[in-house]
Amino acid sequence: MPDYAVILVHSTSHAIQAERVLKRAGLTVKLIPTPRQLSSDCGSAVRIAAADQARCRELLAATGVPIDRVEEL
């Protein structure tokens, strides 16, 4: 299993919103420039621990943060 996953978003506004929601829930997150191999609307992406993917999806869905998709690194 890879160490990290990235949440891809459409807008940096959504990236900041996702970062905020996940940090408040106590998760370790980092904003990173979107890796070149991944196609995305937005130059920034939210890196999370790969093991946290399901929990992140749940949290973001529950708070209505719009995301594109989640990819493993």
Partner 1 sequence: MIYLDNAATSWPKPPQVLEAMARYLRDVGASPGRSGHRLANEAERLRFDAREAVASLFGARDPNRVVFTLNGTTALNLVIRGLLAPGAHVVVTGMEHNAVMRPLRALEATGVALSVAACGPDGTLEPAALAEQLRPQTRLIIANHASNVCGTVLPIRDIGAIARRHGIPFLVDAMQTGGCWPVNLHADNIDLLAFTGHKGLLGPTGTGGLVINESFDIDRLPPLICGGTGSRSEHEWQPDFLPDKYEGGTPNILGLAGLAAGVRYVLERGVDSIRAHEGALTQRLIDGLAAMERVRVIGTRDAGRRTAVVSFVVQERSPADVAQQLDEQFAIMCRPGLHCAPLAHRTLGTLPQGTVRFSAGPFTTAEEVDEALAAVARLSEARPRA
Nearer to partner 1, 13 or 28 (CB): 13
Nearest to 56 by CA among 43, 42, 67: 67
CB of 28 to partner 1, least distance (A): 16
CB of 1 to partner 1, least distance (A): 26
Residues counted in the chain: 73
**Which residues, numbered 6-65, are part of the site for partner 1 (CB under 8 A)?**
10-17, 20, 31-34, 41-44, 64
**CA 20 – CA 27 distance, rounded (Å):** 10
Question: Cα(first)–Cα(last) distance of the chain, in Å?
Answer: 10
Q: Residue numbers of the site for partner 1 (CB under 8 A)?
A: 10-17, 20, 31-34, 41-44, 64, 66
